[in-house]
Amino acid sequence: MPVHPVRPAIDRRSFLTSAASLALAPLLPGSAHAGVPAKEFRLVAAPARLPIVGGSYPETDCWSYGGQVPGSEIRVRQGDRVRIVVENRLPQDTTVHWHGLRIPNAMDGAPDVTQPSIQPGEAFQYEFTVPDAGTYWYHPHAHSAEQVGRGLAGAFIIEEPNPLPVDRDVVWVLGDWRLKRDAASGSTAAFLPVSLCAVASASACA
């Protein structure tokens, strides 16, 4: 096909289609990172007894990721591809939502909307590329008030490709626990909503 000396060789529709494809490429599973090995993590959601209050108080019945509250920190670099297997050992279904991350809808953790709930005894594999640096957190989107209230939440830290040098990077996961005087958690009605859980990160420059 001859190229007109003045008119561009690509029309407006083709240009917009190509531009949209490039913009969406980082959000499509396996698109630009098909040959890059994923960083693998495993989260096991299960009941546990942990010293939430500490001191001479007894341990508290809670739900945990990997036997700890908050769950283990996930830390990767911007542009990394991650594969996170979530195993459900709870007495009810669950999912994991990656709060604030721009990822494919199928990996967003909305039960019966973007994925089936993970039933007790089952597992689900999340896999996506992290496009933005920042401090985020992960938590269930099934029975959220109860499951987050029982302790299911953790920090998801995405560093820049070349992070600034600091002496120390400290992450806080803050939650408000409503317990009895003997550190017992009581009924499920005592658990507070997800809005009372927050994640913050601070760095001290060298």
pLDDT digits (tens, 9 = 90+) for 6-55: 334 445 555 445 444 444 444 444 444 556 789 999 999 999 999 988 88
pLDDT above 90 for 123: yes
Domain CATH number, residue 166: 2.60.40.420
Confidence of residue 202 (pLDDT cuts 50, 70, 90): low
In a domain, 3, yes or no: no
pLDDT at 76 over 90: yes
The reported pLDDT for the residue numbered 120 is 98
Has residue 14 been placed in a domain? no
Question: Is the confidence at residue 121, as pLDDT, over 70?
Answer: yes
79 domain-assigned: yes
Determine the pLDDT at residue 61: 93
Model pTM score:
0.75
pLDDT at 189 over 60: no
The answer to whether position 73 is within a domain reads yes
Structural domain span for residue 96: 27-205
Reply yes or no on whether the pLDDT at 81 is more than 60.
yes
Tell me what pLDDT residue 140 has.
96
> Is 60 within a domain?
yes
% of residues, the chain, pLDDT over 90: 56
Overall number of domains in the chain: 1
Residue 51 inside a domain? The answer is yes
User: CB neighbours of 200 closer than 8 A, spacing ≥ 6?
Assistant: 135, 171, 172, 174
Residue 188 lies in a domain: yes
